Amino acid sequence: MAVGCVIELAARVASRELQNGFAVVRPPGHHAEESTAMGFCFFNSIAITAKYLRDKLNIGKILIVDLDVHHGNGTQQAFYADPSILYVSLHRYDEGNFFPGSGAPNEVGSGPGEGYNINIAWTGGLDPPMGDVEYLTAFRTVIMPAANEFDPEIVLVSAGFDAVEGHDPPLGGYKVTAKCFGHLTKQLLKLAGGRVVLALEGGHDLTAICDASEACINALLGNELEPLPEDIVHQIPNMNAIASLKKTTEIQSKYWKSVEPYSVPVDCALAESQKQEREETETVSAMASLSVDVEQCVPQEGSRAAGEPMEEEPAL
């Protein structure tokens, strides 16, 4: 039933009958492999849905973003050699010591699918735990640039909420706020003409699941989101996150031109980076305006420059 619900919703979004949607289903699916149940997952709803969209509805490019704190080993396996589906996961990895142990940064796909598998593999345990600033930075430096370059026709999201604060260390231990997931969803809505489908994955704290789901649904509905605290905008990601992101950008810059520029300033504060982007935009605008002014000031043939006296017509 879970698989059928996700397929039905995605098909309606793909056909533009619906703009977007959230499938609140159980059990989760992203750990399930082709012939193996795993991690409370029996059938991989997102993977089966992506194959349905690709094979039955002829959707050429599908982006899958996995927000669960655990790596979606089943989804990665399903599309590891498939260039029509870009799989992106950000998850707790800890050098393979956190369940399920897969999802290393150098797992990039194989054959024709090489480069179409992106793992933002957080390492360093919980000292300190990853939070809003780290997830927002990952979106800004890796996920959104690569996604825009890929230019998907639809976005499928494995909406696992076990990275939300409130989960014990063995189940995640991170400190991402529920409202942050709303802001991440809002960013994804900029892709594929807003055709975004979320499917509930992991989460073991009912309050966290409810709050994060509410934030994501508000984003899907276009409602105004509760703003993130001002200090989040000015924070620098923790050192473990910086190391993880540098490793990912170094690897992925070989496949995505848009990721390469972020390999150096990834450890800048969000506010400083945003300021730099604004200054670059203002500089380009100013130069464009100056160019226009110069063109307007160049005297045309038969015209006089400003301040030049008019020639008197000869007296008859």
Residue type, 18: L
Closest to 63 measured CA to CA, from 193, 203, 161? 193
* Mean local confidence (pLDDT), 158-181: 95
- Tell me which of 269 and 278 has the higher pLDDT: 278
Residue 302 domain-assigned?
no
CATH of residue 245: 3.40.800.20
Residues 221-240 pLDDT 10s: 999 999 988 888 778 899 99
What is the reported pLDDT for 288? 64
- Supply the DSSP symbol for 86: E
Residue 111 domain-assigned?
yes
Q: Report the C-alpha gap between 177 and 228 in whole angstroms.
A: 9
Which residues is 66 bridged to in the sheet? 89, 158
What is the reported pLDDT for 307? 39
**pLDDT category, 36, cuts 50, 70, 90?**
confident
Closest to 63 measured CA to CA, from 187, 182, 154? 154
Residue 288 domain-assigned?
no
Residue 148 domain-assigned?
yes
Residue 115 domain-assigned?
yes
From the DSSP assignment, how many helices (H) and strands (E) are in the chain?
10, 6
Q: Average pLDDT over the chain, rounded to whole?
A: 87
List phi, psi (to 5°) of 122: -65, 135
Prediction pTM value: 0.82
What is the reported pLDDT for 39? 77
Angle formed at CA 290 by CA 288 and CA 295, multiple of 5 degrees: 100
Give the percent of the chain with pLDDT over 90.
71
Catalytic residue, candidates 30, 31, 71, 91: 31
Sign of the Cα pseudo-torsion (39, 40, 43, 45, in order): negative
Q: Report the C-alpha gap between 99 and 190 in whole angstroms.
A: 31
Which residues touch 11 (CB under 8 Å, ≥6 apart)?
52, 53, 57
- The number of folded domains in the chain is 1
* Mean local confidence (pLDDT), 70-79: 96
- For residue 196, the SS3 value is strand
Residues 175-196 pLDDT 10s: 999 999 999 999 999 999 999 9
**Known catalytic residue at 91:** no
Q: Report the C-alpha gap between 212 and 197 in whole angstroms.
A: 15
Residue 285 domain-assigned?
no
- What range defines the domain where residue 16 resides? 1-263
**pLDDT category, 32, cuts 50, 70, 90?**
confident
Residues 93-141 pLDDT 10s: 999 999 999 999 999 999 999 999 999 999 999 999 999 999 999 999 9
What is the reported pLDDT for 278? 64
* Mean local confidence (pLDDT), 249-269: 74
Residue 208 domain-assigned?
yes
Residue 155 domain-assigned?
yes
Residue 96 φ/ψ region, left for φ over 0, alpha for ψ in the -120 to 50 degree band, beta for the rest = left
